[in-house]
Amino acid sequence: MFDRIAGRYDFLNRSLSFGRDVSWRKRIRQHLPKDKPLMLVDLATGTADQILFLLEGDAEISQAVGYDLSEEMLEVGRGKIKERNLEKQVTLLTGDAMACPAEDDTADIVTISFGIRNVLDVPTALLDMKRILHEGGKLCILECSLPPNKVIRWGYLMYFRHVLPKLGGWVSGDAYAYNYLNKTVETFPCGDAFCQLMREAGFEQVQADAMTFGVATLYTAVKPVGDA
């Protein structure tokens, strides 16, 4: 499915979120340490948008590796990386968020943006993310969520159920993909429920930062020191 929509994916992300996805992705910059060079692993990297937005920030990212199962999305991302002459700094590889090819204890930061709800087994994926991180390393998960305010939620769901699938399907030529999107958002645990999944995976300092009335949430957590 993601192979089919790869060519229009970035354009639709900007259009259907009214450009808000850019500010949501940039929010992760606030959680990156500024006192050392960082090794970044970005899961469900898609077209590498998240990596590229983080590279524009103040933190020094010495190496970034993005993993995704969609080869067409990765090809779009590789084109963007080549245009920016970042081939020595950024690598995009085929990889599953539930069993990432990255070695144990190698990443300072693990990110996954708008991808965790597509993972078949979220607890397994969270455990694998913890495996990849150094002790004290940071996990940042950006995902769509449901606004807590009933009035805002009603308007949001009207847009998500009736407008977004039609626009997304028309522009991408794949109506199924954008019907799938709203269904996964409505059924995926968000807020406290997702924070609890992160704690059960063994993460500490778990926080949820709701943005734009709660239509997106940035979850952050730390791998405990002493957790090999």
**pLDDT per position as a tens digit, 15-62:** 667 788 999 999 999 999 999 999 999 999 999 999 999 999 999 999
178 falls within a domain = no
- Counting the structural domains of the chain, the total is 1
CATH classification at residue 96: 3.40.50.150
pLDDT of residue 210: 96
Q: Enter the tokens of residue 85.
A: 């002459």
31 falls within a domain = yes
**pLDDT per position as a tens digit, 132-161:** 999 999 999 999 999 999 999 899 888 878
CB-CB contact of 121 with 98 (8 Å) = yes
In this prediction, residues 62-84 reach a mean pLDDT of 95
Answer yes or no: is pLDDT of 68 > 80: yes
This prediction's pTM? 0.91
Sequential DSSP letters for 122-180: HHHHHHHHHHHEEEEEEEEEEEE---SSHHHHHHHHHIIIIIHHHHHHHHHS-HHHHHH
pLDDT of residue 162: 77
Domain that holds residue 17: 2-145+188-222
pLDDT of residue 4: 67
138 falls within a domain = yes
